[in-house]
Amino acid sequence: MFTLIHQDPRFYLVDKHPGASFHREGDAPGLMDALRAGLDDEALWPVHRLDRITSGLILVARSAEAARALGDALAGREVEKYYLALSDRKPLKKQGRVAGDMAKGRGGAWRLTEGRENPAVTQFFSYALEPGLRLFLLRPRTGKTHQLRVAMKSQGAPILGDALYGGSEADRGYLHAYALRFELDGERFAFVCPPLAGERFIGEACRDRLADLGEPWCQPWPGA
């Protein structure tokens, strides 16, 4: 359900596996149950969450004080988050910025609206991997529910394997929390975690492209 990536006296950083639910569902344990069981039943505070289909980096605080500090940094948009996604459809534009208010749609889905009262903001680049497949590097500047999944759909390129938003069938939902950069108690941290599950993510074309991209925070991101 998870792989421990980094251990600090103030937090754990884990790689959530795709398909793992964050919270318990009925009798099925969730990620936080698995973390507590695997980390000696230590008291833990989740700093942020990932959807079931999404794999990748999650910060978990080891004290209430660390949870407050990291939560404040997240709320203040001081935690940089970067994601990877794959789509088998061509986007409306190859790079840019998606912004708009979000409203509930049907069947648990959300939709992007033309409003700008409290917009979800996402920056992105896309790259051709092979015929009929593109890699997206995404940077959410806000933290709305399903934000990246909705942003991709709005560009006409729903995430591969994301059935809720019209993505083509695949062996997993191809969204991965790829990198984090943040500061805690005056100390800077930066982590990159390539995806390790999904035949398209671990294929040679994707691995080669990621090797060429370098660190995501060094990209010339479109204006926020």
Of the residues 15, 27, 51, 171, only one is catalytic, namely: 51
How far apart CA 141 and CA 163 sit, in angstroms, is 25
Distances from the Cα of 68 to the Cαs of 18, 91, 141, 162, 186, in angstroms? 27, 38, 20, 33, 15
- Count Cα neighbours of 17 within 13 Å in the Cβ-side half-sphere: 11
The DSSP result for 61-107, as a single string, is: ESSHHHHHHHHHHHHTT-SEEEEEEEESS--SSSEEEEEE-EEE-ST
- Could you tell me how far CA 80 lies from the centroid of its own chain? 11
Q: Which of 136, 47, 129, 156 is nearest to 83 (CA)?
A: 136
Gyration radius of the chain's alpha carbons: 17
> Which residues have a Cβ under 8 Å from the Cβ of 205 and sit 6 or more positions away?
129, 130, 133
Q: Are strands 102-104 and 187-192 parallel, antiparallel or unpaired?
A: unpaired
Q: Which of 56, 160, 166 is nearest to 111 (CA)?
A: 166
Is 34 in contact with 17 (CB distance < 8 Å)? no
**Catalytic residue check, 162:** no
Q: Catalytic residue numbers?
A: 51
